Structure 1
Amino acid sequence: MAITSANQLELLQTADAVAREKMIDPSLVIEAMEESLARAAKSRYGAEMDIRVSIDRKTGRATFTRVRTVVEDDAVENMQAELTVKEARVYKEDPQVGDMLIDEVPPVEMGRIAAQSAKQVILQKVREAERDRQYEEFKDRAGTIINGLVKREEYGNVIVDIGAGEAVLRRNEKIGRESYRPNDRIRVFIKDVRREPRGPQIFLSRTAPEFMAELFKMEVPEIYDGIIEIKAVARDPGSRAKIAVISYDGSIDPVGACVGMRGSRVQAVVNELQGEKIDIIPWNEDAPTFLVNALQPAEVSKVVLDEEAERIEVVVPDEQLSLAIGRRGQNVRLASQLTGLDIDILTEAEESERRQKEFAQRTQLFMDTLDLDEFFAQLLVAEGFTSLEEVAYVEQDELLSIDGVDESTADELQARARDFLEAQNKKAMERATELGIEDSLVNFEGLTPQMLEALAEDGVKNLEEFATCADWELAGGWTTIDGQRVKDDGLLEKFDVSLEEARDMVMTARVMLGWIDPEDAAADPDAEGADEEAQADEEAEV
């Protein structure tokens, strides 16, 4: 097949038809044709030659040219595509290194094999262009809702026609009770768009919390306008959901606006989600207040927040326990997802029993260590003293404020507490020395003898080994495994060392050893710890 004047215009017509069918730029199709013709020409003239083809965008005429590059005398590697300055003088006056000599060569006759090869090149280029177009079209639409047409189901996954291509609704992204037949219309959330070797992959979802948020945005104009904001969403797809909203206009009730007149707005979302029950909750910056709202309809008597551990303890009346937990733990699980906190629920009776147990333990501690009778020990606990350190180093005025405690009694109490602590420190230091603790760690500021003993027992015996520790290894932390938060015990956690304090100590050790620059440590003090914590989470999940 030769590129003659009879079929020159046919090239342009073919390119235009393919471009329209695939919805891509016609110039991309013509470029593919140029590349395929160049390959055919190389098979005719020689693979080492630099043959290029240019198709005129108006006439369709294909021009075949041979390109040779001028290089240094000792740099010639390809005799067919390169030539020296001396050789180039035959064709051009005063040639320079880097110049190109372009000669037109006769068009080639394309046999059956060459034509088939050219066809494959064109199809491949068209497919790549089509994939690029599809990716560019959908990459910015991730996080939005789209309507599609069900095409088929494969191994539980639904293939959806979204107009410019196909997308996948995976089995675990479908609401449990849903089933689809070919040609059913479906509303879905574009969860992710990825560029992969086999083409862009568009992943859909109907279980994502963002899907519900986008549905409310469509139904509630105030959310679309930004007057009301959705702060958090937690879902048990197909069963129950909780959504937290806040209004930036004092005259608009966020819950009422989302419910709508006679529940019309929320009902539209419920119908789309196959009857999923939705609790709309006012958001509050105060975590305990927000949690009380999130646990509705259960009543809450008391809330105790542990911000460092991201845990919260909730006390409810005995008869409210089952309501607070919900069927199969659903209510408390959704409230936990909504607030981002681990929630422990206790009844008033359980909380009272625990407080009595703690009171008894602290009383016994003071009786054993300070040689006090039960009444006096209970008096200290009742006044809020929880440890020997508090008794030993508190301002004496706080002890004197206790009924029946005079100055001499206060002095005696503090002396006994200090003597006991000093004996403990001496014993701990002897044990750490016996285990091989080194002076580089003993002299490190901020570590008590008990801390040194705990570190030595775990094999951390010098400053270098201490500096390699992650902050969470010292202070403890939480790891998410299969959706459940698991406690990681820290070497110094029992000494009430916070994550921030542990991070500061590790960074100080690294600065002392010259591992990092002091300015870098001051500029981003928690970067290293955050990286190690993330790495630890990944390892734990694996």
Structure 2
Amino acid sequence: MAITSANQLELLQTAEAVAREKMIDPDLVIQAMEESLARAAKSRYGSDLDIRVKIDRKTGRATFARIRTVVEDELIENHHAQVTVKQARSYLADPKIGDEIIDEVPPVDLGRIAAQSAKQVILQKVREAERDRQYDEFKDRKGTIINGVVKREEYGNIIVDIGRGEGILRRNEKIGRESYRPNDRIRAYIKDVRREARGPQVFLSRTDPQFMAELFKMEVPEIYDGIIEIKAVARDPGSRAKIAVISYDNSIDPVGACVGMRGSRVQAVVNELQGEKIDIIPWNQDQATFLVNALQPAEVSKVVIDEEAGKIEVVVPDEQLSLAIGRRGQNVRLASQLTALDIDIMTEADESARRQAEFAERTNLFMETLDIDEMMAQLLVSEGFTNLEEVAYVDPEELLSIDGFDEDTAAELQARARDHLEEANRKALESARALGLEDSLAGFEGLTPQMLEALAKDGIKTLEDFATCADWELAGGWTTVNGQRVKDEGVLEKFDVSLEEAQHLVMTARVMLGWVDPTELAPEAEEEEETEGEA
């Protein structure tokens, strides 16, 4: 196949036809043709030559040119495609490094193999351009709902025609046992768009919580307009879901707006989600109030929040326990997802038994350590004293306010508490030193003897060991693994050391060792103060 005047215009016509069919830029097709012709010319004239082809966008005429680049003498690697400045003077009046010598060469006559190779190059380039076009079209639609037509099923995954491309709905992204046949219409959420070796992949989902949020946005104009906002969504796909909403207009009820007249709006979403039951909950900034709403229809008696651990305890009447937990734990699990907190549910009877156990434990502690009778120990616990430190170092006036306590009794109790604490500290320090605790850490301010003993048992015996610790290793924390919150036990966690306190102790140790310049910490402290001031 020679590039003659008879088929020059055919190049442009072919490029136009291919570009129109694949919905890509015609110039990309012509560039692919230029590259394929250049490759064929190299196989004819020599692979070491730099042959370039230029197709005129108006006439279709293909120009073949050999390019030689001017380089420095010591950098010349390919004598067929590069020349020195001295050699270039035969072709150029004043050659400079980087200049190109262009010589037109005769067009090649493409044989059968060369023509087939050129065709493959063009097809490959067109395929790449088509993939780029598909990726550019769908990457900005991530997080939206798309309508498509089912094309086929592959190993349980549904391939969906979404217009200018295909999407894949995996088995685990389908609701329950729903099945589809070719040509069925389907609505799905674009969960992700990724470039892969076989081309851009559009991943669809019908189980993602945001799919339900987007459906509500389509059905409820107030959400689309921003008057009502969806703050959180939790789903058990195909079974039940909870959605928390808030209204920025006092005259509009967010729950009522989402439900619609006679439930018309929420029913449209329920029908799309294969009958999934939806609880619409008013969002509240107060976590306790929000949780009480989230656990509906169960009634809640009391809520206790542990913000540091991210856990929450909920007390419900005995007869409400099964309703609060839900079938197979569904209700409490969805409420936990909605509030992003670990929820422990107990009945009033369980909570009462726990309080009684704590009361008895503290009573026994005071009886044994202070050598007092049960009545006096119970009086201390009833007044809110939980440990020896509180008794030893509290203002004596607080002890005197307890019925039956005089000055001598208060002084004697505090003296006994201090003696016991000092003895406990002495034993703890001796134990820590026996384990190898060094003076560098023993003299570090901010650590009690019991803390030093715990550190020594964990192999932290020097100031250098302590300075290498992370704050969560000392104070403990929570890690999310496979969607579940997992507890990380801290060495000093039982001493109620917070993450901020642990971080301060570790940074102080690093400053003392000269690992950190204290001046570098000052800007961070100033930023924190400014943030607190703004808040």
TM-score (norm 1): 0.95
Tell me the SS of whatever aligns to 2:97: coil
Q: Does residue 65 of the first structure (1) align with residue 93 of the second (2)?
A: no
Change (3 A) 1:521 1:119: farther
Give the letter aligned to residue 340 of structure 1: A
Task: Give the corresponding residue for 1:31.
Answer: 31
Query: Per-residue deviation at 1:479?
Result: 2.7
- Once structures 1 and 2 are overlaid, which stretch shifts more, 71-80 or 10-19? 71-80
Asked if 2 retains the 8 angstrom alpha-carbon contact of 1:432 and 1:452, the reply is yes
CA deviations 1:280-329 (Å, max 9, x no partner) are 00000000000000001101111101001111101111111111111111
Deviation (angstroms), 1:464:
2.2
- Counterpart of 1:399? 399
The residue aligned with 2:375 is 375
Q: Structure 1 pair 433/279, CA: closer, same or farther in 2 (3 Å)? A: same
The residue that corresponds to 1:456 in the other structure is 456
Aligned mates of 2:292, 2:387 — CA distance in 1: 32
Q: 1:140 to 1:517 in 2, by over 3 A?
A: farther
Relative to structure 1, the CA distance from residue 516 to residue 31 in structure 2 (aligned partners, 3 Å threshold; closer, same or farther) is farther
Could you say what secondary structure the match of 2:189 adopts?
strand
Q: Partner letter of residue 338 of structure 2? A: L
3-state DSSP of counterpart to 1:58 = coil
Quick one: distance in 2 between partners of 1:392 and 1:190? 63
Q: CA deviation at 1:519?
A: 4.9
**Paired residue for 1:439?**
439
User: What is the rounded CA distance, in whole Å, between the counterparts of 2:244 and 2:101 in structure 1?
Assistant: 70
Matches of 2:183 and 2:119, distance apart in 1? 34
Alignment of 1:403-422 (within 5 A): 403-422=403-422
Aligned residue number for residue 210 of structure 1:
210
Give 1:267 shift.
0.3
- RMSD (Å) for aligned C-alpha atoms: 1.3
Query: Quick one: distance in 1 between partners of 2:52 and 2:208?
Result: 51
Residues 166-181 of structure 1 aligned to structure 2 (within 5 Å): 166-181=166-181
Cross-structure match for 2:532: none
Shift of residue 489, structure 1, vs aligned partner:
1.5
How far apart are 1:522 and its partner, in Å?
5.1
Structure 2 CA distance for partners of 1:149 and 1:524, relative to 1, 3 Å: farther
CA distance in 2, matches of 1:325, 1:519: 53
Deviations 1:369-401 (CA, angstroms, capped at 9, x unpaired): 111111111000000010111111112221122
Partner of 1:475: 475
Q: Are the counterparts in 2 of residues 234 and 337 from structure 1 also a CA contact under 8 Å?
A: yes
- Does the 8 Å contact 1:325/1:331 carry over to 2? yes
Structure 1 residues 273 and 60, CA gap change in structure 2 (3 angstroms):
same
Q: Report deviation, 1:356.
A: 0.2
Indicate how the Cα distance of structure 1 residues 515 and 111 shifts in structure 2: closer, same or farther if over 3 A, else same. Answer: farther
| CA–CA distance in structure 1, aligned partners of residues 476 and 44 of structure 2 | 71
Task: Give the residue type in structure 2 aligned to 1:479.
Answer: T
Aligned partner letter, 1:182: P
1:508/1:119 Cα in 2 relative to 1: closer, same or farther (>3 Å)? farther
Deviations 1:150-179 (A, max 9, x none): 011111111111011111101000001311
SS at match of 2:47: coil
| Corresponding residue SS for 1:385 | coil
- Whether 1:104 and 2:143 are equivalent positions in the alignment is no
Distance 1:242 1:60, change over 3 A: same
1:460 offset after TM fit, Å? 1.1
Letter paired with 2:447:
L
Mapped to 2, the partners of 1:504 and 1:42 lie a distance apart of: 68
Shift of residue 73, structure 1, vs aligned partner? 1.8
Stretch of structure 1 that moved more, 121-130 or 405-414: 405-414
Task: Give distance in 2, aligned partners of 1:23 and 1:91.
Answer: 44
Task: Give SS of 2:191's match.
Answer: strand
* 2:262 match: 262
Report if aligned partners of 1:363, 1:378 keep a CA contact under 8 Å in 2: yes
Q: C-alpha distance in 1, partners of 2:52/2:113?
A: 20
Give the equivalent residue in structure 2 for 1:539.
none
Could you tell me which residue of structure 2 aligns to residue 222 of structure 1? 222
Name the CA distance, whole Å, in 1 between partners of 2:352 and 2:57. 87
Question: 2-side partners of 1:427 and 1:98: how far apart?
Answer: 81
Q: Which moved more, 1:484-493 or 1:364-373?
A: 484-493
Within 2, Cα distance between the matches of 1:217 and 1:10?
51
- Between the aligned partners of 2:490 and 2:256, the Cα distance in structure 1 is 46
The one-letter amino acid paired with 1:26 is: P
Which deviates further from its counterpart, 457-466 or 361-370? 457-466
C-alpha displacement at 1:111, in angstroms? 0.9
Letter matched to residue 360 of structure 1 = A
In structure 2, distance between residues paired with 1:249 and 1:279: 21
**Conserved? CA contact 1:441–1:463, under 8 Å:** yes
Structure 1 pair 375–147 and aligned structure 2 pair: CA distance change class (3 A) = same
Counterpart contact for 1:142–1:191, Cα < 8 Å:
yes
In the other structure, the counterpart of 1:283 is: 283
Tell me by how many angstroms 1:520 deviates: 4.7
- For 2:347 and 2:38, the matched residues in 1 are separated by 81
What amino acid does structure 2 have at the position aligned with 1:504?
H
Change (3 A) 1:368 1:276: same
Q: In 2, distance between residues paired with 1:212 and 1:523?
A: 44
Distance in 2 between residues matched to 1:368 and 1:221, nearest whole Å: 67
Residues 63-462 of structure 1 aligned to structure 2 (within 5 Å): 63-462=63-462
Give the Cα–Cα distance (whole angstroms) in 2 for the partners of residues 48 and 187 of structure 1. 54
The superposition leaves residues 35-67 of structure 1 with CA deviations (integer Å, 9 ceiling, x where unpaired) of 111111111111111111111100011111111
Distance (Å, rounded) in 2 between the aligned partners of 1:184 and 1:128: 30
Q: What residue is the counterpart of 2:42 in the other structure?
A: 42
Aligned to 2:489: 489
Q: Deviations over 1:118-175 (max 9, x none)?
A: 1111111111111111111000111000000001111111111101111110100000
Q: Is the 8 A contact 1:507 1:521 kept in 2?
A: no
Corresponding residue SS for 1:404:
coil
In structure 2, the gaps of 5 or more residues are: 526-535
Residue of structure 2 in register with 1:536 after alignment: none
Task: Report the alpha carbon displacement of residue 197 of structure 1 after superposing the two structures with TM.
Answer: 1.7
Identify unmatched segments of 5+ residues in structure 1: 526-542
Aligned to 2:533: none
Answer with 77-86 or 441-450: which moved more: 441-450
After TM superposition, give the deviation of residue 517 of structure 1 in Å: 4.2
| Kept after mapping to 2: 8 A contact 1:284/1:290 | yes
Distance (Å, rounded) in 1 between the aligned partners of 2:375 and 2:270: 61
CA separation of 1:133/1:519 partners in 2, compared to 1, >3 Å: closer, same or farther? farther
Aligned residues: 525
SS of the counterpart of 1:141? coil
Deviation at 1:443, TM superposition (A): 2.4
SS in 1 for 2:321: helix
